[in-house]
Amino acid sequence: MKFQVLSIVGHAPHPLSGELPSAAERLAQVVDVGVAAERLGYDGYAVGERHAGAFLSSSPTVVLGALATRTSRIRLLTGVTVVAILDPVRVAEDYATLDQLSRGRVELVIGKGAEAGHFDLFGLDEARQWDLQREKYELLRRLWTEEGVDWEGEFRPALKGVTTVPRPYAGLPRIWHGSATSLNSPELAARHGDPLFTANAIQPRAAYARLIEHYRERFAAYGHDPARAHVAAGSGGLLIADTHEQAVARYKKLYEAKVAQTFKPHLAGKAGYNTPFRTIEDAIADGPQLIGSPQQIIDKILGYHAVYRHDLQSVTVDTFGQGTAEQIETLQRFAEEIAPVVRREAPSSLWEPAA
C-alpha cells in the first residue's frame, strides 16, 4: 500500500471554537503539512480544486507549485482537477509547467467536482457535465501525447496544428479518474486504461465497491492488462487515539459538530453530498472515516483493501479544523504505527521502479 495526504483546503470556522485563520495562514499551513508529509515518508500529497463553498483551493497549481519548491521526492497530485469546467489547453500548459518544475512528480486526478454551483460560475450547463468531462479529458490527453494537434469538438473552438508548451517532463503524466457516485468516470478510466480513484469519503462501502467492480470489468473488456487496473481510495478524515473509548470521548463533539456544519439541506437525498454517518459511533463502525485506535484504523483500511484491492490510500488530517502541529502529529503517528503494518499486509507495485 502507498499513502498520500489530501487537502481540499477547507476554510470554514472551527466547528467548536468558531476560530478562522486568515487565507494566508491557511494556505501556508497546507504547504507546511506537505513538507512534513515528505519528511515522514508519505508517497504523495494532493490538493483539491473547489470553486464554490468554504474552500481556498480554486488554484491548486499555485499551491502545488509552492510545494514543489520545498520538496524533492513526494509526488504531487490533484484531488480533483475539475477538467469539466476548464480549458484543456490551459490545463495542459499549467500542469506541464508544474511537472517540469517538480522534475516529473505530477499526477492528475480528474473529475467533475463535488460542489454544486461551479458549472454556473463558469457559464456551463451542469446537465452536460459528463459530456464536458469526456470531451475535455480526451483533448487533454491528446495535447500531452501529440504535437501539431488538429481537433474539433463541441465545447471549445477548434485547434489547428497546436503543440502546447512546455511539454510534460517525461511523457504523459499518470491521470487518475475520480469516482464518487456515477459509472461515467469508471467507464472513461477503463476505456483509456487509466487508474481509478474512488472518493470513499461519504457513502457506505458497497456504493464505492460497485463502481470499482464496474471499472475492473470494463478495464479488462477494453483489452487492458488487469494488473494495470490500479485503484486508490480516499477517506473521510483521520483522527487517532490510543483506544476506541478515547477516540469517542475526545472527538465526539468535534466530529458531530463538523457533520452539522457541512450538512447541505438543498442536496439532502442526493448521493455523495451528505454523510449518513452522523454520529461518531456510526462513523467508526461503518463509515469511511479513519477514526479510532491505530489497530481499528489498520483493520478498517485492510477491510477496504479486501473489497477494493486498492494500491493507494489517501488520508486527510485537516477535515475537522486541526492546527498545523496537530495535523503533523497525526501524520507522524499514522506513519509510525499504522502505515508500516498496512504496507506489509497489502503490498503494492504502484510507483515502484519496476512498474
**Cα distance between residue 148 and residue 133, in whole Å:** 23
Q: What percent of the chain has pLDDT over 70?
A: 99
Flag whether 295 is in a domain. yes
Burial (CB < 10 A; 0-12, 13-18, 19+), residue 91, is buried
Predicted confidence at residue 52, as pLDDT, reads 86
Flag whether 353 is in a domain. no
Flag whether 352 is in a domain. no
Radius of gyration (C-alpha) of the chain in whole angstroms = 19
What is the tally of structural domains in the chain?
Answer: 1
Q: Which of 12-26, 107-121, 277-291 bottoms out in mean pLDDT, i.e. has the lowest? A: 107-121
Whether 354 shows a pLDDT value over 70: the answer reads: no
Question: Could you report the per-residue pLDDT of 186-230, keeping only the tens digit for each?
Answer: 999 999 999 999 999 999 999 999 999 999 999 999 999 999 999
Domain that holds residue 142: 2-345
Backbone conformation region of residue 165, classed left if phi is above 0, alpha if psi is from -120 to 50, else beta: beta
- What CATH number is attached to the domain comprising 18? 3.20.20.30
Q: Which of 116-130, 240-254, 303-317 bottoms out in mean pLDDT, i.e. has the lowest? A: 116-130
Whether 355 shows a pLDDT value over 60: the answer reads: no
CB neighbour list of residue 237: distance below 8 Å, 6 or more residues apart: 255, 289, 290, 291, 316, 317, 319, 320
Flag whether 354 is in a domain. no
> Please, which pLDDT band fits residue 98 given cuts at 50, 70 and 90?
very high
Flag whether 350 is in a domain. no
Flag whether 96 is in a domain. yes
Whether 166 shows a pLDDT value over 80: the answer reads: yes
**Cα distance between residue 110 and residue 87, in whole Å:** 13
> What are 9's three cell numbers?
483546503
What mean pLDDT comes out for the span 52-68? 96
Question: Could you report the per-residue pLDDT of 324-344, keeping only the tens digit for each?
Answer: 999 999 999 999 999 999 999
> What are 19's three cell numbers?
476560530
Q: In 3D, which of 66, 43, 182 has the Cα closest to residue 113?
A: 182
Whether 318 shows a pLDDT value over 70: the answer reads: yes
Flag whether 26 is in a domain. yes
Flag whether 351 is in a domain. no
